[in-house]
Amino acid sequence: MNPVDHPMGGGEGRSSGGRHPCSPNGIPAKGFKTRKKNKYSDKYIVRKRTAK
């Protein structure tokens, strides 16, 4: 995987990423909230699915 292919790509030998895990297009992964803070449909959500 080259630097042009993925944000974690590139490096010499068996190098680890050196930055936070992210998707191929650069959006942080593993726990990063992707929903907008003030979305118009927030008033319809009574409780979060994870809070069951």
Q: What is the pTM of this model?
A: 0.53
Rounded Cα distance, 11 and 18, in Å: 10
How much is the pLDDT for 39? Answer: 93
**Third-level CATH fold of 1-52:** Ribosomal protein L2; domain 3 (4.10.950)
Exposed e or buried b per residue across 25-47, where buried means at least 16 C-beta atoms within 10 angstroms of its C-beta: eeeeeeeeeeeeeeeeeeeeeee
Would you list the domain boundaries of the chain? 1-52
Residues in the chain: 52
CA–CA separation, 22 and 25 (whole Å): 8
The string of pLDDT tens digits covering residues 1-52 is 888 888 888 888 877 778 888 999 889 989 888 889 999 999 998 888 877 6
- Under DSSP, is residue 43 helix (H, G, I), strand (E, B) or coil? helix
